[in-house]
Amino acid sequence: MTHRTLIVAHGEGQSSRCDALLTRILEHWPPESPAPTVRMVDHGSLALERSLAQHTTLVVGDPTLRGAKLTQLLDMLDGRCVPALVLLESRADQAETPGIMVWNADASPARIATALCTLALRQHTVQRLAHELAIAQHCQGGMHGEISRMHEEMSLAAKIQRDFMPRGTVEARGFDIAVLHQPTGYVSGDMHCVRQIDDRTIGVLVADAVGHGVPAALLTMIIARSIQSAPAHVMADPGAMLDRLNVDLMAAQSGATRFVTAIYATIDTVTRVVKVSGAGHPPPLLISKSGVERVETDGPLLGVFDDASFGVTELTLAPGRTLLMYTDGFETCFPKAGADAHEIRMPTTTYVEHFARLCDPKSAASLEESMAELRGVLLEQAGSLHQADDVTAMAIAARDADTQAMRRAA
């Protein structure tokens, strides 16, 4: 028997009666278990026993042990995980208390002895489980604090990263520019940037660092710093701008290679000529009433090759044409109908159809409204319940008088 002490609690003036009952109980004690040492206490002193949970307890009731007094006693025994058997004179006083056995006082001594012996044998397991529960609760409290601290740090990191991003609609003379940016978590490996280079030229960037989360977000900080410190003549040349980003990323490497894909373009707001360079990035889409055309670029990934060179493609963004730059996260945002758990993560080209529809120049909606609608479409997709990657899209369209009149009418 694990616990060799039996505590017997009795009411005032009931010690003689308890002695007689205890004698009969010990006579029927199971022979395979040693008889316990007995310690007698009164009801009022029971709660003061420090090691109560380590010993089997027999509570012999009296006429005063009822109502609130009984409830308080049972709650104390249950709360301290005490292996206890309570004998009550009146059936009306019996209460259902999980973990505590409450019987009539006329129960047979043999039955009482068997119950007390069984309680003693099981208490080692109960105490071990209670100890493990206490450890688990302590660890849970520590984990909750650590998670709260990490939440605060990540929220701050997300705010710092957002400070590098433009807010709201960016105004460019003669053009509409709208952005959708939706990270998978607090911070993002995607970034976008719109900078005024001179009176007539703006530079736009959409970049995607390998992976997502904090490591990818740190790479976007290198890109943001590089763009902010670039001189105007470099920003005005897409090939030179990507070359600068590549040099800065190569200098920041400290072992494992981490790369970035990017599209950088300059827009002449007077001639509407757009110059585009790419670095291993999905080609921008030129959307017009005649369909969707891919603007191919031939540059390699950023941060991989020291001698990388980046070509420049020119196009004219006349009214009725929309240039859409985006990250590859969209490839997994629109799974095929009926896709299983594996296929739901497979890339598709369905996103092109959504881009073409929402950015259709014939639409009366503004680009900002189109981006808001695209965000709503993303949230409706099964693949967006657990978004696999950050997504960013930037749409640029030239204004014309007819388009503006149609939008005002709408």
Sign of the Cα torsion 214, 219, 221, 224 reads negative
| Tokens 């509570």 belong to residue | 59
How far is CA 257 from each of CA 227, 252, 253, 264, 353, rounded to the nearest angstrom?
21, 10, 6, 22, 35
Same domain, 319 and 395: yes
How far is CA 216 from each of CA 189, 220, 228, 250, rounded to the nearest angstrom?
4, 7, 19, 15
What count of Cα atoms within 13 Å lies in the side-chain half-sphere of residue 401? 0
What is residue 275's predicted lDDT score, i.e. its pLDDT?
97
Same domain, 263 and 332: yes
What is residue 310's predicted lDDT score, i.e. its pLDDT?
95
Same domain, 170 and 35: no
What is residue 171's predicted lDDT score, i.e. its pLDDT?
67
pLDDT along the chain (410 residues), means of 10: 75 85 92 89 87 88 86 88 86 65 90 91 82 84 82 82 61 84 85 90 93 82 89 95 94 80 95 96 91 92 92 93 91 71 70 82 75 83 62 88 47
What is residue 405's predicted lDDT score, i.e. its pLDDT?
46
Same domain, 44 and 170: no
Same domain, 122 and 199: no
Identify whether the C-beta of residue 127 lies closer than 8 Å to the C-beta of residue 51.
no
Task: Show the tokens assigned to 186.
Answer: 């607090």
What is residue 8's predicted lDDT score, i.e. its pLDDT?
92
Same domain, 374 and 261: yes
∠ Cα 390 396 397 (to 5°): 150
Which among 205, 221, 55, 217 has a CA at the least distance from the CA of 124? 55
Query: Is residue 150 included in any domain, yes or no?
Result: no
Query: Is residue 367 included in any domain, yes or no?
Result: yes
Residue 194 has φ and ψ, to the nearest 5°, of: -130, 120
Three-class HEC string of the chain = CCCCEEEEEECCCCHHHHHHHHHHHHHCCCCCCCCCEEEEEEHHHHCCCCCHHHCEEEEECCCCCCHHHHHHHHHHHHHCCCCEEEEECCHHHCCCCCCCEEEECCCCHHHHHHHHHHHHHHHHHHHHHHHHHHHHHHHHHHHHHHHHHHHHHHHHHHHHHHHCCCCCCEEECCEEEEEEEECCCCCCCEEEEEEECCCCEEEEEEEEECCCCHHHHHHHHHHHHHHHHCCHHHHCCHHHHHHHHHHHHHHHCCCCCCCEEEEEEEEECCCCEEEEEEECCCCCEEEECCEEEECCCCECCECCCCCCCCCCEEEECCCCCEEEEECHHHHHCCCCCCCCCCHHHCCCCHHHHHHHHHCCCCCCCCHHHHHHHHHHHHHHCHHHCCCCCCEEEEEEEECCHHHHHHHHHC
Same domain, 187 and 90: no
Q: Please tell me the total count of domains within the chain.
A: 2
Same domain, 128 and 172: no
**How far is Cα of residue 205 from the mean position of the Cα atoms in its chain?**
29
* % of residues, the chain, pLDDT over 70: 87
What is residue 408's predicted lDDT score, i.e. its pLDDT?
44
The boundaries of the domain holding residue 256 are 166-409
Interatomic CA distance for residues 246 and 249, integer angstroms: 5
The CATH number of residue 183's host domain is 3.60.40.10
What is residue 149's predicted lDDT score, i.e. its pLDDT?
84
What is residue 406's predicted lDDT score, i.e. its pLDDT?
45
Identify whether the C-beta of residue 86 lies closer than 8 Å to the C-beta of residue 105.
no
The 10s digit of each residue's pLDDT in 340-354 is 666 666 777 778 888
The CATH number of residue 107's host domain is 3.40.50.2300
Same domain, 202 and 345: yes
The 10s digit of each residue's pLDDT in 189-212 is 898 999 999 989 999 999 999 877
Identify whether the C-beta of residue 89 lies closer than 8 Å to the C-beta of residue 61.
yes
Interatomic CA distance for residues 327 and 184, integer angstroms: 13
Same domain, 73 and 189: no
Residue 102 has φ and ψ, to the nearest 5°, of: -120, 115
Interatomic CA distance for residues 168 and 156, integer angstroms: 20
Query: Is residue 278 included in any domain, yes or no?
Result: yes
Q: Specify the pTM.
A: 0.64
Query: Is residue 29 included in any domain, yes or no?
Result: yes
Contacts (Cβ under 8 Å, ≥6 apart) of 67: none
Query: Is residue 161 included in any domain, yes or no?
Result: no
Same domain, 12 and 55: yes
